Amino acid sequence: MNNMPYSIEAEESLLGAMLQNPQAISIALSKINSKDFYSERNRLLYESVIEMHNRNIEVNGETALRYLKENGLFEKLFQNDEAYLMRIIDGTPFYQNAKYYSEIIAEKSLLRDLILASQDIQKSAYEAKDSETKEVADFAEKKIFEVTQRRLDNDFIHIRDLLYEALTSIEERKKHKSAVTGVPSGFAGLDRVTHGFQPSDLIILAARPSVGKTSFALNIVEHVMTNVETMSFGIGFFSLEMSRMQLVERLISSKARINLSRVRSGDLERTEWTKLGQTFNSLSQSNLLIDDSSQLTIMEIRGKARQMKYKFAEMSKTSGKNIDLKLIVVDYLQLIHSNIQTRRNGTREQEIADISRGLKALAKELNIPVVALAQLSRAVEQRQDKPRLSDLRESGSIEQDADLVMFLHRQKPNRDDEEVIDERNNQVEVILAKHRNGSIIDGLPLNFVAEQTRFENIYSNADNN
């Protein structure tokens, strides 16, 4: 295509550097791939040099020329320009400039990708029907996000690099003696089994109304925000039910251990004002973005999540800290809208399937855990038993897409003894009913301090501090 951004000079200079020193090859491999070259013959020469490097063949002008002839590439590359190879080598006096040349090539490639993506977006917009505006907007955001993300991540990686990364991670865990490899929940019994919420996982947290789903999710958020090891983690919270101020008041109440009613009324004692000040200072240092829009579609959530990732990247530049989006919480799944076409033509089960797949796709796209709260059906109350996977409302697709399914369950006592009723009303079990990559939990007992919207381990508060 004419007028596309490119730099033949940078491409030939990088190739010249690679033909002079293997260190330049390593630099190029870490910055670009063959698709980033604009010139076809420069791309072929790059691929040939990389292939020689991978086969432990010494790379220089003479060996490269022999390799090209042996593999039938000589005519295609030289195209009646016999001085091509020597010109490339002689035109690159310093192989140390390989990083600079690689960055120019990568930048020009990015601009070309953005131009092509914008053309796809234009085509989609021109051909869109009246009811497809939001779908087109989501398509546009995704196309741009895919282009920019491609600059950060390779599409594939050799297993030797993965093995090295795994070994480094194992050694690091041993050094810190931590069993948590993902985003910690703050509840020791749960983290022992899950090792934290893992990247690209969809986690469903389900319960009947008023059992404490939002409080439990906020306790997890609070732990991630204020824990020393995860304070740089960015968190996105989508609240389709509660307002942002209600969420913040709950966070304050839980963190300060002050009754929520007193926080809302402002009727606080002097010691509680001191706690409040300490809590404000702690929470203000955290990285939490809250969206309390009440009528979000799954596409809008995915679009806003990408914007949150960009926002944290911008915050990193100004704060001097490496802040990245590490967790998304959605409260709750059944309040999300599906796309217009599914709403018009599909059943409620199809809508939920569309939403569930969208949340799982979001977790994979951003490579972070997504915690989605969900309602359980009335069947669990009628049965007087612990929840089952089938109790998830419109459960088929949710159960299939989720990597973890957790239930909060308050056991109702059968006796009329008031002391027993009061005691058990504060006890809530966490049931891990599905765990794609590990074992399940039949019931982790927690104490629910309703006045402070806070869950605590019954046997030891230390696990949750």
In whole angstroms, what separates CA 348 from the centre of its chain? 27
In a domain, 313, yes or no: yes
Average pLDDT over residues 115-131: 86
Task: Read off the pLDDT of residues 316-333 as tens digits, 9 standing for 90 and up.
Answer: 877 778 888 999 999 878
The DSSP bridge pattern shows strands 427-435 and 233-239 to be unpaired
> Poorest-confidence range of 62-76, 78-92, 444-458?
78-92
Task: Give the total number of structural domains in the chain.
Answer: 2
Q: Are 205 and 373 in contact (CB under 8 A)?
A: yes
In whole angstroms, what separates CA 378 from the centre of its chain? 33
Domain end among 120, 145, 170: 145
DSSP string, 300-326: HHHHHHHHHHHHHHHHHHHHSS--EEE
**Is the confidence at residue 266, as pLDDT, over 80?**
no
Average pLDDT over residues 376-394: 74
Phi, psi for residue 22 in degrees, rounded to 5: -65, -25
Using 50, 70 and 90 to split pLDDT, how confident is the model at 456? confident
**Cis ω before 332 (30° cut-off from 0):** yes
* 97 and 186 fall within a common domain: no
Task: Read off the pLDDT of residues 195-243 as tens digits, 9 standing for 90 and up.
Answer: 888 988 999 998 888 788 888 999 999 888 888 777 888 899 998 888 8
* 250 and 130 fall within a common domain: no
What does pTM read for this prediction? 0.63
In a domain, 218, yes or no: yes
In a domain, 159, yes or no: no
Give the type of residue at 250: R
Burial of 75 (0-12, 13-18, 19+ CB in 10 A): exposed
> Poorest-confidence range of 89-93, 144-148, 368-372?
89-93
Report pLDDT for 225: 86
Using 50, 70 and 90 to split pLDDT, how confident is the model at 423? very low
**Is the confidence at residue 61, as pLDDT, over 60?**
yes
Domain end among 99, 121, 145: 145
* 193 and 133 fall within a common domain: no
**Domain CATH number, residue 440:** 3.40.50.300
The DSSP bridge pattern shows strands 427-435 and 404-409 to be antiparallel
> Poorest-confidence range of 377-381, 413-417, 433-437?
413-417
> Poorest-confidence range of 95-104, 249-258, 273-282, 408-417?
408-417
Report pLDDT for 138: 79
User: Which structural domain range is residue 128 located in?
Assistant: 1-145
Report pLDDT for 53: 81
Between vectors from CA 75 to CA 47 and to CA 108, what angle results, nearest 5°?
A: 40
Asked whether the CA dihedral 374, 390, 357, 444 is positive or negative, the reply is: positive
**Domain CATH number, residue 120:** 1.10.860.10
* 96 and 11 fall within a common domain: yes
* 98 and 205 fall within a common domain: no
Give the ranges where 32-178 is alpha helix by DSSP (H).
Answer: 40-54, 61-70, 74-78, 84-90, 98-127, 133-150, 159-176
* 336 and 414 fall within a common domain: yes
Q: Are 142 and 154 in contact (CB under 8 A)?
A: no
- Alpha-carbon radius of gyration of the chain: 28
Q: Could you tell me what percent of the chain has a pLDDT over 70? A: 83
**Is the confidence at residue 175, as pLDDT, over 80?**
no
What is the overall mean pLDDT for the chain?
Answer: 80
Report pLDDT for 158: 61
* 324 and 455 fall within a common domain: yes
In a domain, 168, yes or no: no
* 190 and 120 fall within a common domain: no
* 237 and 381 fall within a common domain: yes
> Poorest-confidence range of 54-58, 212-216, 353-357?
54-58
Within 10 Å of residue 275's Cβ, how many Cβ atoms? 16
Average pLDDT over residues 99-110: 89
Distances (CA, A) of 396 to 180, 249, 392: 30, 35, 8
* 113 and 217 fall within a common domain: no
- Give the SS3 label for residue 369: coil
Q: The tokens of 165 are what? A: 């990364």
Burial of 225 (0-12, 13-18, 19+ CB in 10 A): buried
* 77 and 219 fall within a common domain: no
> What is the C-alpha separation between 247 and 291, in angstroms, rounded?
11
Using 50, 70 and 90 to split pLDDT, how confident is the model at 346? low
Using 50, 70 and 90 to split pLDDT, how confident is the model at 461? very low
Domain end among 127, 145, 163: 145
**Is the confidence at residue 422, as pLDDT, over 60?**
no
* 196 and 253 fall within a common domain: yes
Sequence-ordered list of residues with C-beta below 8 angstroms from that of 74, at least 6 positions apart, any chain: 65, 68
